[in-house]
Chain A
Amino acid sequence: MPSREARGAREGVKPTAADAARRSAAARDVLTALVKLQDLDLMIREATDPHQADAVSKMGFKTEGVGLLHAARQALAAEVEPRLLRIYDAAARRYGGRALVPVTNRTCLGCSAVLPTGLIPDPKRITSCQSCGRILYPL
């Protein structure tokens, strides 16, 4: 079913401020979900890396619940739109798990490229670095 905004556009109705706020909140939620996903993927990778797992185990930390993390990962991934999840997974494969990278001072901290003037990092929008393709996370 087309969204209220899509129907509105077809019928010549201008989007309202409430529509824009809903869009921003949805994008913010998606970005938050992607950060949670990447954090979880990194935790799984570290917990299953023999060297790191051994180091934290020697410190006295338990790490026996990797199965629970895999289940949580599956549930979280199911909440993300499939198209975005494909972009995330592809970038994660290409960049060693780091599909999202911070952006500060208009610089992508993944590839150090300075963002073009027109590209404004905004937590309310999903934007990718035009140089490396990774999803940008404004700190």
Chain B
Amino acid sequence: MAVDVQVVLETFDPALFLPALAAPDKDSVLQELVAHVQARGLVRDAVPLLEMLRSRESLGSTGIGHGVAVPHGRSLAVPRLVAGFARHASGVAWGAVDGKPVKLIFLILAPPLEQPTRYLPFLGRIVEAVSDADRRKRLSKVTTYEEFRGALRDALA
């Protein structure tokens, strides 16, 4: 099932746009992301969510190379498909496929069951969107949510 560009854009929550992450390591980044998800009121209990993201990293790094990581997974704690974007100016070690530090982070969370099922196609759209160097460069310069939306819209087009 294809996911419409508009659906992708609307799933990215403005409260989960974090253009200046400075956490020193991968686990601290995950903790910070989850804290924002909870502060946004999207989950009641952040503990299982953080544990799920850590487990996903145990399964294999979500760093897909070129400075991009897409931490993702399903948790019962999440009521609906949720997405956030964070930027780490200096880059953080993520155990990525190419060993490079990660500067662009896309957080994607989904409940165990969704109707309609958008999680995997959504993940695919994001990976596709950051496959091009120019698109990544533009995303790495955004400072506002609106700029991010514009850059992502063009990357998804």
User: Quick check: B120 and A43 within 8 Å, CB to CB?
Assistant: no
Nearest-neighbour CB distance to chain B for A41, whole angstroms, equals 10
18 new A-B contacts at CB < 8 Å, known A38-B112, A102-B76, A123-B45:
A32-B45, A35-B76, A36-B48, A39-B51, A40-B52, A55-B120, A56-B123, A59-B64, A60-B97, A62-B97, A63-B60, A64-B59, A64-B60, A65-B60, A69-B55, A69-B59, A100-B76, A102-B79
- Measuring CB to CB, which residues of chain A are less than 8 angstroms from any residue of chain B? 32, 35-36, 38-40, 42-43, 46-47, 52, 55-56, 59-66, 68-69, 72, 98, 100-102, 104, 123, 137-139
Residue of A nearest to B47 (CB): A32
Given A35-B77, A43-B74, are A72 and B55 neighbors across the interface (CB < 8 Å)?
A: yes
Given the complex, which residues of A lie within 8 Å of B79, measured CB to CB? 102, 104, 139
Tell yes or no: B44 within 8 A of A by CB: yes
Given the complex, which residues of A lie within 8 Å of B113, measured CB to CB? 98
A35 to B59, CA, bound (A): 18
The CB with the most chain B CB atoms within 10 A, among A39, A43, A138, is that of A39
A108 to B28, CA, bound (A): 35
